[in-house]
Amino acid sequence: SMYAENVRAAHQGMFLRMEVCGTLPLGYRGEPIGGLTRRNRPKCKVAIDKDDRPYARKIYKWWVYDGISMDQIARLLNDDPNAPAPPKSMTGIWNHGAVRGILTNARYRGFWEYGKTY
């Protein structure tokens, strides 16, 4: 706990520079910017993933405009062989909870907050 403030300050600095410091939502990826982290991983900035972005948009379109249920959206994604795996998924299978997690994630509305988990 004696290092907590230093770690928090470092994470806040990364957040303000739009560097990756956690799990990114569907449609975003880390783009290497040079240098290494303390864990010898490449430092990355948050960037839009051109391959996954259409799926994030499809999920919102199906829910908001087409009125499709979350379970049906999960089925549509599971039936598409090109659909990406849900974020944080160990199985790669879409379900109601994974779709709900996308639809309720404030990052898709432009609200990125330090320390907020989704």
pTM (two decimals): 0.74
The total number of residues written for the chain in this structure: 118
Question: pLDDT of the chain along its 118 residues, tens only?
Answer: 678 888 888 878 888 888 887 778 888 899 999 888 888 889 999 899 999 999 999 999 999 999 999 999 999 999 999 999 998 888 999 999 999 999 998 887 777 776 666 5
| 62, 74 contact by CB (below 8 A) | no
Half-sphere exposure of 72 (CA within 13 A, CB side): 9
| 56, 30 contact by CB (below 8 A) | no
